[in-house]
A and B are shown apart, each in its own frame.
Chain A
Amino acid sequence: MTSDELDRALEEALRVEPPVGYLARVRARVAAEQTATATRYTWRPIGAMAAAGVVLVVGGLLLERDDDHGRLATNTATVGTVSAPGTSSRRVVGRDVVQVPTVTRNRGASAVPLERRPGHAADDAGNAAPNADRPAALLISPDDSEGLRLLRALPEAALAVPVIESAGPQTPQFSRIDVSPIQLDPLAELTPLTLGELQ
């Protein structure tokens, strides 16, 4: 078999005609694909909008939750509980609850008791606070605490409290000054000198 005969045989073998109705079936398949594509493109923006809505809702919830955590952390950082010496307390730092040792100053009555709100004896996890039966106190500096103690003792001691009032901006007051006029003696009348009189 020569090369030309072989090429001719190959071409004849591959000159296969499609079956009857093949083109119509291909067109039907493409039309089905068009419908599927159109449906996909129709639902795509709706799906995108739904996804955006879900993201907004979840983001809003997370932001609200962060705000709650922030308020709780701020309150805890501002007003804490003073527990018994040698014990530890739970503090909220940011989003984390950490166990920190409590250092108390031995000032006894100087601590100002803080009224405990009901329901705060246990945290969200149901853990009872270690000092639930003890009064809470403000965490203030020793100097401020001493000042507060003195202020509380004032009514009992009937001490007069020096009140320093500010009169506001003052204008300088001037009093009249009597100044006697200066009297000067008149100058002695000079007598004319004659030439050679005192020489």
Chain B
Amino acid sequence: MDDRLDLLLPGLVTRDDDLETEFEALLGETSTLAFRVAFGVLRHQQDAEDVAQESFAKAFRHFRRLRDRTRFRAWLVRMAWRTALDRQRSNRRRGARELVVDGSALTEAARADGLADQAARDRAAALWTAIDALPEKLRLVVVLSGIQGHDHREVATLLRIPEGTVKSRMFLARQQLKETLR
């Protein structure tokens, strides 16, 4: 079937193959980023993985429409962020999911950084509790800024707000976090 298609429509098949190859390369680069964005919103490992998979499926479906491939990273992050928010609202409606700190993920992160002690785990749990207490606008700015590689400008691009707004929200978020963690 593929051979016949290749004979009949060589240009189309080649173009599809190129798209798939390009998407595969971008998927390898950004898979962890999508997972972290989803985890920063949902705070649940399985939900974060589901959201990341759904985001990549959406991205593949609409990949042809993305003219500027260099914007794939921001595009995917925005998609994962919105999908995670939808999942979070759905979880809240069901009321069946308790947003708690995923201990296994924290343990892996702590092991990776050499912070496997109980004090570090307690401090991380307190930090997440403080982040959860933030208003949603501030919380999203904090989460997106905390992900490695995102500066204020990138966060502003992701949220489609001015860079100055990101800075002011980060300032307010830090103030509240310091108050809570004091």
Q: Who on chain A is nearest to B144 by CB?
A: A14
At the interface with chain B, which of A18-26, A62-70, A109-117, A131-139? A18-26
A27 to B56, CA, bound (A): 9
Contact A6–B178 (Cβ < 8 Å): yes
B145 on the interface (CB 8 Å rule)?
Answer: yes
At the interface with chain B, which of A30-38, A78-86, A167-175, A176-184? A30-38
Which of B56, B109, B113, B145 meets A10, CB within 8 Å?
A: B145
Which of B27, B49, B145, B148 meets A18, CB within 8 Å?
A: B49
Contact B146–A10 (Cβ < 8 Å): yes
A197 on the interface (CB 8 Å rule)?
Answer: no
Number of interface residues of B (CB under 8 A): 43
B35-92 interface (Cβ within 8 A of A): 35-36, 39-40, 45, 48-49, 52-53, 56-57, 60-61
Contact residues of A with B, CB < 8 Å?
A: 1, 3, 6-7, 9-19, 22-23, 25-27, 29-30, 32-34, 37
Contact A15–B113 (Cβ < 8 Å): yes
Contact A13–B127 (Cβ < 8 Å): yes
Contact B109–A16 (Cβ < 8 Å): yes
Main secondary structure of the interface of B (DSSP, over half): helix
Q: How far is the CB of A126 from chain B (nearest CB, A)?
A: 57
A34 to B105, CA, bound (A): 30
Contact residues of B with A, CB < 8 Å?
A: 20, 23-24, 27-28, 31-32, 35-36, 39-40, 45, 48-49, 52-53, 56-57, 60-61, 105-106, 108-109, 112-113, 115, 123-124, 127-128, 131, 142-143, 145-148, 174, 177-178, 181-182
Contact A18–B35 (Cβ < 8 Å): yes
Q: Given A1-B181, A10-B127, list of 20 further CB < 8 A pairs? A: A9-B127, A10-B146, A11-B148, A12-B109, A12-B115, A15-B36, A16-B35, A16-B105, A17-B105, A17-B109, A18-B52, A22-B35, A22-B52, A23-B28, A23-B31, A25-B49, A32-B57, A33-B57, A33-B61, A34-B20
A27 to B26, CA, bound (A): 12
Q: Who on chain B is nearest to A12 by CB?
A: B113
Contact A30–B105 (Cβ < 8 Å): no
Contact A18–B32 (Cβ < 8 Å): yes
Max chain A C-beta neighbours (<10 A), residue from B24, B57, B115, B123 = B57
Contact B108–A13 (Cβ < 8 Å): no
Q: Who on chain A is nearest to B39 by CB?
A: A16
Which of A14, A23, A26 meets B36, CB within 8 Å?
A: A14
A6 to B145, CA, bound (A): 12
Residues of A within 8 A of B115 (CB): 12
Q: How far is the CB of B90 from chain A (nearest CB, A)?
A: 19
A37 to B28, CA, bound (A): 21
Contact A26–B27 (Cβ < 8 Å): yes
Asked whether A26 and B52 contact (CB < 8 A) given A17-B109, A37-B61, the answer is: yes
A11 to B60, CA, bound (A): 29
Contact A1–B49 (Cβ < 8 Å): no
